[in-house]
Amino acid sequence: MKPLMRNDKATLTAADWEREALELIADCGVQALAIEPLARRMGITKGSFYWHFSGRESLLERALERWEEHDSRNLNKSLGEIDDPRERLVSFFRRVGREKLTHEVYSELCAAAGHPQVEPVLERVAERRMQHLSAAFEELGMAPERARHQARLTYSVYLGFLQLQRQHQTPSLSSGDFEAYIEHVIQTLIPA
C-alpha cells in the first residue's frame, strides 16, 4: 500500500489508542467515542484496534483508568506542594485554566454521568476532590461537618462552572470580568 502517511511511529501501542481516545472524548464527548471514526482520525483502520483491544468497552475502560490515575496524581501533587490551606483552595479554582485537556475530559465525563463505565470514575474522583477540600477547610478551623458541607458547596460551584463553560456562558478566561468573578467566589467561600 501507500507509504504510510502516519506522521509518528511505524507501529502503534495500546497506550496510543487510549491517549487518542481521551482526546476524542475531550473534543466530542463520550458518546462520540466510536472505533471507526477514531481510526479515521488516526489515519489508520480498525484492523489495528481489534488487535490491541477486545472491543469498545475495553478501550473506554482503559482510557478512563489512565485518566483517573493521571488526575489522582495531579491532586496529590498539588496537595503536597502547597502547605497553606487557604492558598491550596485558591489554587483549586485557578487551576481550571491550566491542565486544559484533563479538565475538558472531566467536563465531558460529567456530561456522560449515567454511563455505567463512567459513573464509578466520576464518583471516586469527586469523592477524592471533596475530601481534599474538606481537609483544607478543617485546617482553616472549621468543624468537621461544617467543613464537609463547605467542601460539597465549593465543589458544586466548580461543577457549575464547568457546566456554564459547556454552555458558553462563562466570561472568557482571560477577561477582567473573569478575574473579578473568581475573586468574588474566593471571598465568599474561603474564610479569611
Give just the sign of the alpha carbon dihedral 69, 71, 76, 78: positive
Residue 12 as a binder of DNA (CB under 7 A): the answer is yes
Query: Exactly one of 12, 111, 135, 140 binds a copy of itself (CB under 8 A); which one?
Result: 111
* Segment lying near DNA (by CB under 7 A), choices 32-40, 66-74, 123-131, 138-146: 32-40
- Decide whether 2 or 168 has the Cβ nearer to DNA: 2
Contacts of 140 (CB under 8 A, 6+ apart): 85, 86, 190, 191
Query: Exactly one of 46, 103, 148, 152 binds DNA (CB under 7 A); which one?
Result: 46
What spatial distance separates the first Cα and last Cα of the chain, rounded to whole Å? 67
> Angle CA(129)–CA(118)–CA(78) in degrees, nearest 5?
25
Residue 66 as a binder of DNA (CB under 7 A): the answer is no
> Angle CA(93)–CA(97)–CA(99) in degrees, nearest 5?
105
Q: Are 22 and 63 in contact (CB under 8 A)?
A: yes
Question: C-alpha 102: how far from its chain's center?
Answer: 4
Query: Exactly one of 15, 27, 31, 34 binds DNA (CB under 7 A); which one?
Result: 34
Q: Are 37 and 25 in contact (CB under 8 A)?
A: no
Residue 28 as a binder of DNA (CB under 7 A): the answer is no
Partner in contact with 52, chosen from a copy of itself, DNA, none, beta carbon below 5 to 8 Å by kind: DNA
Residue 96 as a binder of a copy of itself (CB under 8 A): the answer is no
Question: Least Å distance between CB 101 and DNA?
Answer: 22
- Decide whether 38 or 151 has the Cβ nearer to a copy of itself: 151
Interface contacts to DNA, rule CB under 7 A: 1, 10-13, 34-37, 39, 44-48, 50-52, 54-57
